[in-house]
Chain A
Amino acid sequence: MRDDRASILNQSASQKSPAPSPLSVRDLWVEYQLERGMVKAVRGVTFDLRKGESLSLIGESGCGKTTLGLALIRLLVKAAAIRRGQITYRRNGRTTDVLALKERDMRSFRWRECAMVFQSALNAFNPVLRIWDQMYDTIRAHGGMPKGQARENALRLLGYVQLDPERVIDAYPHELSGGMRQRVLLAMSLLLDPQILILDEPTTALDILTQRTILDLMKRLKAQLGFSMIFISHDLSIAAELADRVATMYAGSIVELGPVNDIFYRPAHPYTLGLIRAVPTVTGEFEDLISISGSPPDLIDLPSGCTFHPRCPYATERCQGEEPVLTLYEEDHAVACFHSDRVRREADVMWKRHGDQPAGEV
């Protein structure tokens, strides 16, 4: 059943983009062993990251977004374990089974192939080391190149992120503002020319104007360097701004996955629709917002059937007993819900009421 689904999704992916996807995840399960019980943080996640795309993982805190990101580069804490699944990485015709890599090979996989920028740029630096020392440490730990070349590379990347390279490279972290530190982190993540960049809440702690700079910068860097990007955010507007495709996560599973316009204008999962209806926009007239009733589930003690059913206005008896799997709903747009048609009709009504159209084309 799950394999079928994987191949369906894969097929649609290969139709869209002929280049092989750099990262494929199949039926991934991650659990945390706590005293209170087993936390099922990632449950049967399957997706392909396409070459050069930016894929956004959205969802509320505790839905497993960050755990999924960490699992992709195997940086999970001790209490966590990948129970099942497959992560396949591809570059230049080589295929790597990420979960089978030895710890030593894993070190060079991280950063050289797949780099991650963590939440809270403010804590990501060692306060007593200059930026250059931290950058050189990173290069040595994950691959290594001659010192001169490394420095040149570092200066070039700091320039890419619109910093004054000569000044910043010898600065201590406390001498830089939050926005500058975030940019240094971006530059650092690109040091070893990774093919995939995972960004966890890249702009969450930043001010509006600084956030704008970082968002524009990320778009430019991606276009310039051509890496693929997975970014994790609880903020729908960041996804609307940056994503090519969006995956909605709820209770550890991807419940909807599709092109950004489909997700925002033609959502087919009640949770996605609920999120969109709960977020105000700044431009335009006043909108009535509707919150999703209830609160996110306890990942130790998940509801039966569809994990969203206790909060879902469309839930029927079937939803209590049977968990829907992610299946193709339309071309390139997959959803895990028994009532997608009803959700879609509701979404159409919502956008009509707004006065703008489901705009579709960008």
Chain B
Amino acid sequence: MAEYLIETCNLTRTFGSRREQVTAVDNLSLGVHEGEVVCLVGESGCGKTTTGKIIAGLLQPTAGQVLYQGRDVWARDKAGFKGYRLGVQLIHQDPYASLNPSHTICQTLSAPLLHHGFATSHRQARERAAELLEIADLTPVEDFLTKYPHQLSGGQRQRVSVARALTVSPSFIVADEAVSMVDVSIRVGLLNMLSRLKESLGVTFLFITHDLAVAKFFAWEGRIAVMYVGSLVEVASTPQLVSDPLHPYSKALLAAVPEADPVLTRRKERIRLRSQDIPSLLNLPSGCRFHPRCPCFEEGLCDTERPGLTPADDNRYVACHIAARGVGARP
């Protein structure tokens, strides 16, 4: 197996005071190969964004390591850390909040180019900015360079965010819900544009989303990692995960998603959970965190022993006592 471009080892991040602590990310290990797309999927509050921020170097983990090109990023010297921060870029969720409203698009894109020495003059920066807008499909480029964010639609702003992330020629992009605030008719265009970056520039992606259908579309040739209350419960190739999930939580999610197809969606089999309540991070259940809701719950096992992410068949991983047992029995 090739080296990972980015790898997290037992990543943990807690927030709060000494009196009351919340573990947002708990012992999370995930590696992403160069050129790969990995989607991190989970419900709100499960720690997806925190994981993304740690991977992008915006948050320091409380415990555990982030390895970039095989080296711990927080143990690097200043220059080494800068190299990592430039190599890994984050695209934020909200295109209305992530662009400076008083800067033109040209200024927004020129600033990082000039600051990090990717352009030596304003003229050069402008030329490069124009190229980037072209890549992001914002044409005619000249029209967009002089515009301010308020003159653009949400989809166009998100494209500017992508162009900005590309200014420093990153090898890895963390896209945090990058298309969830964009209208349906434009969303696919944005996703196709991101896919093109993957192919033409060889950018590796960690794509964070709550939308399984988007994850499936974007990472069809990659993998999906399902997260629940701070930990990964299943990591598998995308076709495997959507057609034959192993973890009861993954199964429940897939069964619950309504589909844009009336016959299909009304025929879908339902999975009844034992409880609707998402556990509070302040008062986590013992053993497997999903056990109070899990339809496969076994007393004395799931509520006492916490399952770790273990290899199942075909290069996939699952954190479930019951599913792991089932895998051995499968043909």
Residues of chain A whose beta carbon lies under 8 Å from any beta carbon of chain B: 60-61, 162, 177, 179, 207-213, 215-216, 234-241, 243, 260-261, 264-265, 274-276, 278-284, 286-287, 289-293, 295-296, 356, 359-360, 362
Complex Cα distance A237/B183, Å? 14
Complex partner residue of B276 from A61, A210, A275, A296, CB under 8 angstroms:
A210
Q: Are B242 and A362 in contact (CB under 8 A)?
A: no
In the assembled complex, the CB of A277 is this many whole angstroms from the nearest CB of chain B, namely 8
New contact pairs (13) apart from A177-B277, A207-B43, CB-CB < 8 Å: A60-B185, A179-B276, A208-B43, A209-B252, A236-B184, A240-B262, A241-B259, A243-B262, A282-B254, A283-B268, A286-B220, A289-B192, A289-B217
In the assembled complex, the CB of A292 is this many whole angstroms from the nearest CB of chain B, namely 4
Q: Are A234 and B263 in contact (CB under 8 A)?
A: no
For the complex of A and B, list the 4 residue pairs with the smallest distance between their C-beta atoms, beginning with the closest: A212-B256, A291-B189, A291-B188, A207-B43
Among the interface residues B185, B188, B217, B220, which one has the most CB atoms of the partner chain A within 10 A?
B185
Complex Cα distance A36/B175, Å? 36
* B117 contacts A by Cβ under 8 Å: no
Smallest Cβ-Cβ distance to A264: which chain B residue:
B262
Complex Cα distance A235/B187, Å? 12
In the assembled complex, the CB of A185 is this many whole angstroms from the nearest CB of chain B, namely 16
* B135 contacts A by Cβ under 8 Å: no
Among the interface residues B220, B258, B262, B276, which one has the most CB atoms of the partner chain A within 10 A?
B262
Complex Cα distance A359/B263, Å? 7
In the assembled complex, the CB of A241 is this many whole angstroms from the nearest CB of chain B, namely 4
In the assembled complex, the CB of B7 is this many whole angstroms from the nearest CB of chain A, namely 27
Residues from chain B with Cβ under 8 Å of A291 in the complex: 185-189, 192
Q: Are B261 and A209 in contact (CB under 8 A)?
A: no
Residues from chain B with Cβ under 8 Å of A280 in the complex: 213-214, 216-217
Q: Are A208 and B212 in contact (CB under 8 A)?
A: yes
Complex Cα distance A31/B276, Å? 42
* B153 contacts A by Cβ under 8 Å: yes
Complex partner residue of A261 from B43, B213, B262, CB under 8 angstroms:
B262
Given contacts A208-B253, A362-B266, contact A281 B260 (CB under 8 A): yes
Q: Are A209 and B262 in contact (CB under 8 A)?
A: no
In the assembled complex, the CB of B138 is this many whole angstroms from the nearest CB of chain A, namely 12
A-B contact pairs, 17 of them (CB 8 A): A177-B277, A207-B44, A235-B184, A240-B258, A261-B263, A278-B184, A279-B184, A279-B213, A280-B214, A280-B216, A280-B217, A289-B188, A290-B188, A292-B186, A296-B183, A362-B263, A362-B266
Complex Cα distance A243/B276, Å? 25
Given contacts A236-B260, A240-B261, contact A282 B213 (CB under 8 A): yes
Complex Cα distance A279/B191, Å? 12
Complex Cα distance A349/B278, Å? 43
Residues from chain A with Cβ under 8 Å of B186 in the complex: 291-292, 295
Given contacts A274-B185, A286-B220, contact A209 B253 (CB under 8 A): yes
* B98 contacts A by Cβ under 8 Å: no
Complex partner residue of A282 from B216, B266, B278, CB under 8 angstroms:
B216
B255-286, CB < 8 A from A: 256-266, 268, 270, 273, 276-278
Complex partner residue of A292 from B44, B185, B260, CB under 8 angstroms:
B185
Complex Cα distance A286/B222, Å? 12
Residues of chain B whose beta carbon lies under 8 Å from any beta carbon of chain A: 43-44, 153, 155-156, 183-189, 191-192, 210, 212-214, 216-217, 220, 239, 242-243, 252-254, 256-266, 268, 270, 273, 276-278
Residues from chain A with Cβ under 8 Å of B213 in the complex: 237, 279-282
Q: Are B43 and A264 in contact (CB under 8 A)?
A: no
In the assembled complex, the CB of B165 is this many whole angstroms from the nearest CB of chain A, namely 21
Residues from chain A with Cβ under 8 Å of B153 in the complex: 295-296
In the assembled complex, the CB of B256 is this many whole angstroms from the nearest CB of chain A, namely 4
Q: Are B259 and A209 in contact (CB under 8 A)?
A: no
Q: Are B155 and A295 in contact (CB under 8 A)?
A: yes
Complex Cα distance A74/B112, Å? 50
Complex Cα distance A291/B256, Å? 26
Complex Cα distance A239/B260, Å? 8
Q: Are A177 and B278 in contact (CB under 8 A)?
A: yes
Residues from chain A with Cβ under 8 Å of B242 in the complex: 282-283
Q: Are A208 and B265 in contact (CB under 8 A)?
A: no
Smallest Cβ-Cβ distance to B155: which chain A residue:
A295
Residues from chain A with Cβ under 8 Å of B277 in the complex: 177
Complex Cα distance A167/B258, Å? 30
Among the interface residues A274, A284, A360, which one has the most CB atoms of the partner chain B within 10 A?
A284
Smallest Cβ-Cβ distance to B152: which chain A residue:
A295
Complex partner residue of B260 from A179, A207, A279, CB under 8 angstroms:
A279
Complex Cα distance A289/B260, Å? 13
Complex Cα distance A75/B177, Å? 33
Residues from chain B with Cβ under 8 Å of A282 in the complex: 212-213, 216, 242, 254, 257, 259
Complex Cα distance A274/B191, Å? 16
Residues from chain A with Cβ under 8 Å of B263 in the complex: 261, 356, 359-360, 362
Complex Cα distance A208/B256, Å? 6
